Amino acid sequence: MIRYLARSCPRCNGYVSITLREPGRNIRAQAVNGHCSRCTFRMAWIVIRGKTSRINNGAISFERVI
- Spatial distance between the Cα atoms of 16 and 31, rounded to a whole number of angstroms: 16
The predicted pLDDT at position 27 comes to: 77
| 1-57 pLDDT tens trace | 778 888 898 899 889 898 887 777 777 788 888 999 889 889 888 887 776 655 555
| Residue 54 confidence (pLDDT) | 55
Q: State how far the Cα of 16 lies from the Cα of 40, in Å rounded to an integer.
A: 9
How confident is the model at residue 12, as a pLDDT?
A: 92
Number of structural domains found in the chain? 1
Give me the amino acid identity at 63. Answer: E
Give the residue numbers spanning the domain of 11: 3-64
Give CA–CA dist 30/1, Å, rounded: 13
| Pair 13, 7: CB distance under 8 Å | no
Instruction: Tell me the mean pLDDT in the region 51-64.
Output: 55
